[in-house]
Amino acid sequence: DNIKKVGVLQSVILRPLTILKHPKEAATGKLYVLVAGERRYRAAQLAGLTDIPSRILEISDEQALEVQALENLHRKDLTPIEEARAFKALLDAKGHTLAQVEELAGRVDKTASYVYRALRLLELPKKALEKIEAGEWTPAHGHQLLRLTTAEKLEDAIDWLDMEDV
């Protein structure tokens, strides 16, 4: 509704398409790939808008991934698992060294230990990740489960927590 009233206020980010399947169109600048702003784009479509503000950046695949992950980290409704996946995507592109983790932590105004704890959540089984993403469990539940020493104990604990609706 707000986009219908005032339009899209923040530009989406595009980059020229350079895939070999479309060399002529890519060379003329006719095809672009949406890098960031998918939710704004979809909302604009729903609102019936045909034009929205955009910025075109000449960036690599790696840089596009970084822009996407950083934009996701600034969303207000980000779940702890989405945040952890964004951290992982950024670190996978550059390496999981202490220096890289500290650099990332500084860029998102968090501590390195916060980033490491978020990443640890991704070690949980799918069922536990789903519970945290749905808001049924907190990241603290996940960290307590990660303290268990065997996969069998972990699965038993998850089943018990699920049964108890903790």
**Active-site residue flag, 38:** yes
12: which strand partners? 54
State the Cα–Cα distance between residues 34 and 23, nearest whole angstrom: 18
What is the side-by-side order of every strand in the sheet holding 12-16?
A: 32-36, 12-16, 54-56
> Which residue type does 57 have?
L
Token couple for 24:
């002529």
- Which one of 25, 38, 123, 136 is the catalytic residue? 38
Q: Which residues are catalytic?
A: 38
